[in-house]
Amino acid sequence: MDPTNLFVISSDFCHWGQRFSYTYYDRSCGAIHKSIEKLDKQGMDIIESLSPQSFTEYLRKYNNTICGRHPIGVMLGAVKALQDQGYDKMSFKFLKYAQSSQCEDMEDSSVSYASGSLVFEI
């Protein structure tokens, strides 16, 4: 609640490829990199909704290799605790998304990156 505090939570998003032991692919998206983007954007949308339970369900369903999933979960839990105390002027917005490479076949690999900002008004 101290407005002089700043928290930085760092995380990559999907680590995709055989070398990461993660090759989820929704063929209805077309190219693999589009499937990865859709998967990441689903997670990002859930984070923006500030729902820790929905984020946990997403991770269980897709096993997306978001390496900062635990710090993100802590942030979402803290937001939920503040909301339960009546603080509701919060919003999270992702600002940028990128992939290290655009995977076209199963031998490719990439890491996704996203940056966002949580704004909390007292």
Nearest-CA neighbor of 97 among 9, 4, 12, 17? 12
- Residue 7 is predicted with a pLDDT of 81
- Residue 88 is predicted with a pLDDT of 85
List, in order of start, the domains of the chain with CATH numbers.
12-120 (3.40.830.10)
- Residue 107 is predicted with a pLDDT of 96
Q: What are phi and psi of 95, to 5 degrees?
A: -105, -30
- Residue 77 is predicted with a pLDDT of 95
Per-residue tens of pLDDT for the chain, all 122 residues: 677 878 888 889 999 999 999 999 999 999 999 999 999 999 999 999 999 999 999 999 999 999 999 999 999 999 999 999 998 889 999 999 999 999 999 999 999 999 999 988 77
What would the 3-class secondary structure string for the chain be? CCCCCCCCCCCEEEEEEHHHCECCCCHHHCCHHHHHHHHHHHHHHHHHCCCHHHHHHHHHHHCCCCCCHHHHHHHHHHHHHHHHCCCCCEEEEEEEEEECCCCCCCCCCEEEEEEEEEEECC
- Residue 83 is predicted with a pLDDT of 92
